[in-house]
Amino acid sequence: MDINELIDDFLEHLEVERGRSKRTIENYRLYLYRFYEICTEILGKENILPSEITPELLRKYRLKLNRYENAIRHEGLKAITQAYHLIALRGFLKYLARRGIKSLDPSLVDLPRAVKKQVTFLHFDEVEDLLSAIPTDTESGLRDRAIVELLFSGGLRVSELINLNRDSINLDRREFLVRGKGQKDRPIFISEAAADRVREYLAVRSDSLPALFLNNSRNLNAVDNSGNFRRLTPRSVQRIIEKYALAAGITKHVTPHTLRHSFATDLLMNGADLRSVQALLGHANISTTQIYTHITDPHLREIHEKFHSETA
């Protein structure tokens, strides 16, 4: 079998045996088909055997990947995107090794050193400013206030937020489960204020659609009983957050994920331990949660105030 056929087998393996999400599989499909296309260009043929994936082919592939340019936007691939391509390739090579198919040793696929993005978060007073900028005299305003409250109070990812249904959130107990990355369930706890805002929004809804948050600009008379035709999209939520951040005079670039960062930093600044925050965020590895520690460590402020010279 050539690698094109084996890539299809690997993607089916991810879906059936590993239970990976559709989005992850589609990303792997993109990365590995790009690998195949670049290899056909390098070797000058279409039928490529696994044994032909050599260290030299890998070197040339990485060089091509680094020089790759989008035909429409004329942009190259960021270091983190190149790393995703190599992670997919390494996973594919491990799959071949488990099947006893001779190919390149997966350990030879080194990942590039990617520059980590700076964590942007809002202090509590900025969150209050953001909430105050949202008018609550319309259904859309009540919805938007509930969205911001839930993102900050529960630390939800935007994908988790838009997939919520009315019956998936217990407003009396103020807790519910969401299925996050890797199809893993985790508990979400929300404040009384967040629960009240959701109640206020639902109280003015006249529909019986299951989605917790609806896009009010969609055709209300569309024939669709699923409720998904009016379910908010991640981009819609992004625009909502940007709109009110601008109205509140917040100069930072604020996204739905900024509120998740704000949730984590607020917990740590108020004394929560790192392991608990890891569980509340649904991070598989605590090293992911540790990105917040350098901005929430009160000891650093104490050191600065104690030892740094102050000008007159």
Q: 14 is in which domain, residue-wise?
A: 3-108
Write the pLDDT tens digit of every residue in 258-298: 999 999 999 988 888 889 999 999 988 888 888 887 776 76
Contacts of 244-251 with CB under 8 Å at 24 or more apart are 244/130, 244/133, 244/134, 244/144, 244/148, 245/130, 245/133, 247/133, 248/126, 248/129, 248/130, 248/132, 248/133, 249/129, 250/122, 250/126, 250/129, 250/130
Among the options 18, 181, 186, 218, which is catalytic?
A: 181
Among the options 29, 64, 205, 257, which is catalytic?
A: 257
Q: Specify whether 42 is located in the same domain as 81.
A: yes
Dist. CA 50–CA 277, nearest whole Å:
43
Q: Specify whether 136 is located in the same domain as 230.
A: yes
Among the options 34, 157, 230, 231, which is catalytic?
A: 157
Q: Specify whether 210 is located in the same domain as 95.
A: no
Dist. CA 261–CA 289, nearest whole Å:
10
Q: Specify whether 25 is located in the same domain as 84.
A: yes
Confidence of residue 218 (pLDDT cuts 50, 70, 90): low
Q: Is residue 309 part of a domain?
A: no
pLDDT of residue 154: 94
Average pLDDT, the chain: 89
Look up 145 and say whether it is catalytic. no
Q: Is residue 114 part of a domain?
A: no
Q: Specify whether 104 is located in the same domain as 153.
A: no
Give me the number of domains the chain comprises.
2
Q: Specify whether 217 is located in the same domain as 152.
A: yes
Among 83, 108, 133, which residue terminates a domain?
108
Residues in the chain: 312
Q: Specify whether 56 is located in the same domain as 182.
A: no
The answer, yes or no, to whether residue 301 has pLDDT greater than 90, is no
Percentage of the chain exceeding pLDDT 70: 92
Confidence of residue 22 (pLDDT cuts 50, 70, 90): confident
Q: Is residue 312 part of a domain?
A: no
Q: Specify whether 103 is located in the same domain as 145.
A: no
Q: Is residue 116 part of a domain?
A: no
Dist. CA 127–CA 132, nearest whole Å:
9
Look up 292 and say whether it is catalytic. yes
Among the options 20, 145, 174, 260, which is catalytic?
A: 260
Q: Specify whether 90 is located in the same domain as 129.
A: no
Among 108, 137, 167, which residue terminates a domain?
108
The answer, yes or no, to whether residue 225 has pLDDT greater than 70, is no
The verdict on pTM exceeding 0.75 is no
Q: Specify whether 157 is located in the same domain as 248.
A: yes
Q: Which of 270, 244, 247, 271 is nearest to 258 (CA)?
A: 244
Look up 123 and say whether it is catalytic. no
CATH code where residue 32 lies: 1.10.150
Q: Is residue 308 part of a domain?
A: no
Among 60, 75, 108, which residue terminates a domain?
108
Look up 283 and say whether it is catalytic. yes
Q: Specify whether 278 is located in the same domain as 242.
A: yes
Q: Is residue 115 part of a domain?
A: no
CATH code where residue 193 lies: 1.10.443.10
Look up 13 and say whether it is catalytic. no
Q: Is residue 161 part of a domain?
A: yes
Q: Specify whether 169 is located in the same domain as 280.
A: yes
Q: Is residue 254 part of a domain?
A: yes
Look up 275 and say whether it is catalytic. no
